[in-house]
Amino acid sequence: MNTLLDRFLSYVRIDTTSDATSTTVPSTAKQLNLSKQLKAELEDIGAHDVKLTETGYVLASIPATAGKEKAPTVCFFAHVDTSPAYSGTNVQPIVHKNYQGNIIQLPNDPNQILDPNDPMQPTLQSAIGKDLITSSGDTLLGADNKAGVAIIMTMADQLLSGSSLEHGPIRICFTPDEEIGRGVDHVSLEEIGADLAYTIDGSALGELNWETFSADGAKITIEGVSTHPGTAQKYGMVNAIQVAARLVSALPVEWLSPETTNTYDGFVHPYLMQGTSAKMEIQFILRDHDNDKLAAQGQMLQALCDAFQAAHPTARIALEITKQYRNMGYWLRDKKKIVDLMQQATEAAGVTPSIVPVRGGTDGSRLTEKGLPTPNIFTGGHNFHGPLEWVTVQDMEKSVETVLQLAALWGNETSVD
Ligand SMILES: [Zn+2]
């Protein structure tokens, strides 16, 4: 029989890195290798309505137990892709059974060291005495979000194999391309047919999230005046590189950068600058939990552009802002039951819940905005998107228990509100 650990180890070995530069759906065909396996596994454990859609979503149902058919339908989401930020090719997971807090040097890259006494890795202490899973050092592990996939699959298996737990109708959705911000681009809420949902894509044991950032992208384009450098003074060269460098230096780094902010403070983060003395492009992400403060970030960039334009009237400086996603808290603060029940379920699983605002987004940010309220539940994973990523079997088990308790709690309800 497949255990939670077997499932997790089998999923992480499948390369599912997504690719932001690709225009195909899903962005990489290799994600389907896992999606196809999940479809077969769902059929195997007896899930209903199992389907792999043309756009790469795996859907399934678990019917309500007798008498619970009228309860709200809950959907559980996890994503199959891993972040393009680090290699996900040939992942070789290592299980450190009953981890004793020793320093671990990962075998395929001796520079990758897990040390519970390192002040930069404070959470590793919580893994002592548990079965710790790491990568071998030259890839990420992929607990983000294959831990979530394994947790949902194990929950489904338990509910479908004669568990006495009573619950309402349940839907399952495994999405592609979450890491490149396209996870819900092709979701049909009608086809999912749920009243509410949870992503199982969070981090530390007990951590629950119902607030995320609101997010915009910004692009500043600077067209300079290009002349031969030998006659630049005569013909009024404006070097776009010089203007771009000064514009970036004028940003208030001390209080508005990712590296200088925490908790509820937002940031303006330039992440790409490219071009020539004739034309430069600067790409930013803008982030804040508050929509008005997010808008103020855009206004600040506009004021900077205006000032530089005034100083260089022959150049052309343009700002373009693109909406990305909005803080799910704007909708969820009125959906108390959805948040309360996930806290109660966590407690029922013997775990102390802690509500943490996400300094980023989840698939739930856009699902919630689209009309499907979707907060986020812990998987137990840590150090996502890098070679030091880890998770423990015991923390994943607690997430399975939380999700089962949540299914039971919703089975007693007749409405979402
Ligand atoms: Zn994730």
Give per-residue pLDDT as tens, 273-303.
999 999 999 999 999 999 999 999 999 999 9
Helix axes 393-411, 143-160, angle to 10 degrees: 50
Examine the residue annotation and report whether 81 is marked as an active-site residue of this protein: yes
CB within 5 A of ion ligand 1: which residues?
A: 144-145, 201
Q: How far is the CA of 178 from the centre of ligand 1 (A)?
A: 7
Q: pLDDT band for position 255 (50/70/90)?
A: confident
Decide if 332 contacts 326 (C-beta within 8 A): no
Q: pLDDT band for position 16 (50/70/90)?
A: very high
**DSSP character string of 256-309:** SSGGG--TT--EEEEEEEEE-SSEEEEEEEEEESSHHHHHHHHHHHHHHHHHHH
Q: How far is the CA of 38 from the centre of ligand 1 (A)?
A: 17
- Count of residues making up the chain: 417
Q: How far is the CA of 368 from the centre of ligand 1 (A)?
A: 16
Q: CA 377, 383, 387, 390 torsion: positive or negative?
A: negative
Which ranges in 74-142 belong to alpha helices (H)? none
Decide if 106 contacts 135 (C-beta within 8 A): yes
The two structure tokens encoding residue 400: 């399975």
Q: pLDDT band for position 1 (50/70/90)?
A: low
Q: How far is the CA of 240 from the centre of ligand 1 (A)?
A: 38
**All structural domains of the chain:** 4-211+328-411 (3.40.630.10), 214-325 (3.30.70.360)
For residue 82, give the 3-state DSSP assignment.
strand
**Alpha-carbon distance 215 to 343, whole Å?**
26
Decide if 260 contacts 254 (C-beta within 8 A): yes
Q: pLDDT band for position 262 (50/70/90)?
A: very high
The two structure tokens encoding residue 76: 């559980």
Overall average pLDDT of the 233-254 stretch: 95
Q: How far is the CA of 195 from the centre of ligand 1 (A)?
A: 22
Examine the residue annotation and report whether 69 is marked as an active-site residue of this protein: no
Q: CA 337, 172, 347, 213 torsion: positive or negative?
A: negative
Q: Which uninterrupted H or E stretch holds 173?
A: strand 170-175
User: What does residue 223 show for φ and ψ, rounded to 5 degrees?
Assistant: -100, 115
pLDDT the model gives residue 162:
86
Per-residue pLDDT of 163-215, as tens digits, reads: 999 999 999 999 999 999 999 999 999 999 999 999 999 999 999 999 999 99
125 CB-contact burial (10 Å; exposed 0-12 / middle 13-18 / buried 19+) = exposed
**Alpha-carbon distance 157 to 27, whole Å?**
29
Q: How far is the CA of 120 from the centre of ligand 1 (A)?
A: 21
Q: How far is the CA of 201 from the centre of ligand 1 (A)?
A: 5
User: What does residue 198 show for φ and ψ, rounded to 5 degrees?
Assistant: -135, 135
Q: Which of 15, 41, 144, 178 is catalytic?
A: 178
Q: How far is the CA of 205 from the centre of ligand 1 (A)?
A: 15
User: What does residue 124 show for φ and ψ, rounded to 5 degrees?
Assistant: -65, -25
Q: How far is the CA of 154 from the centre of ligand 1 (A)?
A: 18
Q: Which of 81, 288, 369, 389 is catalytic?
A: 81
pLDDT the model gives residue 291:
98
The two structure tokens encoding residue 246: 């000064």
Which ranges in 349-392 belong to alpha helices (H)? 363-370
